[in-house]
Amino acid sequence: MTSIAYNFFHGAYLDHKIQTLQRLVDSDPAIARHKDLERRILEVHLKIIEHNDDTNEDADVWEARHLHLVSEKEVLVGVQVPLTEHAKTLLSELGRFKFSKWVFELQLGRITE
């Protein structure tokens, strides 16, 4: 079951989210001033997913981490990225995290304050 859910997220949902991020990078004038930041977020997003490909995590944890990064992008550049209700529930369960640059860097194992 985990494998089926993982393949679904990786094959369809993840591709959609990556395309959404790329469209925002290309089209939003507010982001144009932050191209380097935006490109970096997209690259990090892909690296996190690649890392998770090698782990044995259950699909809910994987989805929460993926959507946490999408939400992080929203905070950093002020772009609204729709989240599903399921994603919002998962994110609320990660209440110990604050949606801030510090947490985004912490997800990568780097704190750059």
> Tens of pLDDT along 8-64?
545 555 556 556 555 655 555 554 555 555 455 444 443 333 344 444 444 444 444
**What's the pLDDT score for residue 14?**
55
Is 48 within the bounds of a domain? Answer: yes
**Any domain includes 113:** no
Question: Residue 14, SS3?
Answer: helix
The upper half-sphere exposure of residue 43, i.e. CA atoms within 13 Å in the direction of its Cβ, equals 6
* Sign of the four-CA dihedral 84, 90, 95, 101: negative
How many domains does the structure of the chain reveal?
A: 1
Domain boundaries, position 36: 2-107
* Contact by Cβ (8 Å): 9, 23: no
Radius of gyration of the chain (CA): 14
Full-model pTM: 0.25
pLDDT at 39: 52
Tell me what the mean pLDDT of segment 82-96 comes to: 48
Q: Report the pLDDT value the prediction gives residue 23, as an integer from 0 to 100.
A: 61
